[in-house]
A = this chain, B = another copy of it.
């Protein structure tokens, strides 16, 4: 069994954020490494015919309660973003541009926190730039990176490959070929890693 978790995420997903906050514990307990793979959730929805939980009003309301219970149990700060849903295309292209850059870790911490702890409307380029600068980034450099053909192509390829592997939402985890969907399946991920 490979000792690696592929973590497919989009900053726009609050459950991806909840999973992100749980990953350090999983790494500590299992010794596994995590490989973050930025995907565009909107692209996954379009390709699979899936839709976000909030598309059904009653489900969206319940999801808020359910995520708050999860956050409370695990001591995670979660503030629902009043501007949700936010277009994450630029942010995710930036993540794809940094995919093989050691700064990806800090980029993820900066933007997950700015989305789901503070929270900010990161669909607004000015607020995104402010958040990035506060996280120690050169916002202009990141904007240029997000706008690069390479970043665009990588995000597109990541998303298409995810769909080919059976992904229909975020967060999704792979341990080898085994797929797990949702922050609430990390215990199964751990079990699989433990063999």
Binding site for B on A (CB under 8 A): 48-50, 55-59, 61-62, 65-66, 69, 73, 163, 166-169, 179, 181, 184-185, 188, 191
Are B61 and A50 in contact, CB atoms less than 8 angstroms apart? no
> A188 contacts which chain B residues (CB < 8 A)?
69
A56 to B48, CA, bound (A): 7
A163 to B62, CA, bound (A): 12
Oligomer: number of copies: 2
Min distance, Cβ A128 to any Cβ of chain B, angstroms: 31
Give 8 CB contacts A-B under 8 Å: A48-B59, A50-B56, A58-B163, A58-B166, A62-B179, A62-B181, A73-B191, A184-B184
Closest to A181 in B: B62
A61 to B179, CA, bound (A): 11
Chain A at the B interface: mostly helix, strand, loop or mixed?
helix
A50 to B50, CA, bound (A): 12
Closest to A61 in B: B166
> A50 contacts which chain B residues (CB < 8 A)?
56, 58-59
A66 to B189, CA, bound (A): 12
Are B184 and A62 in contact, CB atoms less than 8 angstroms apart? no
Q: Could you say which of A49, A55, A58, A185 has the most chain B C-beta atoms within 10 Å of its C-beta? A: A58
A136 to B66, CA, bound (A): 40
> A184 contacts which chain B residues (CB < 8 A)?
184
Closest to A167 in B: B58
The 8 closest A-B pairs by CB, nearest first: A58-B168, A50-B56, A59-B168, A48-B58, A49-B56, A58-B166, A48-B56, A56-B168
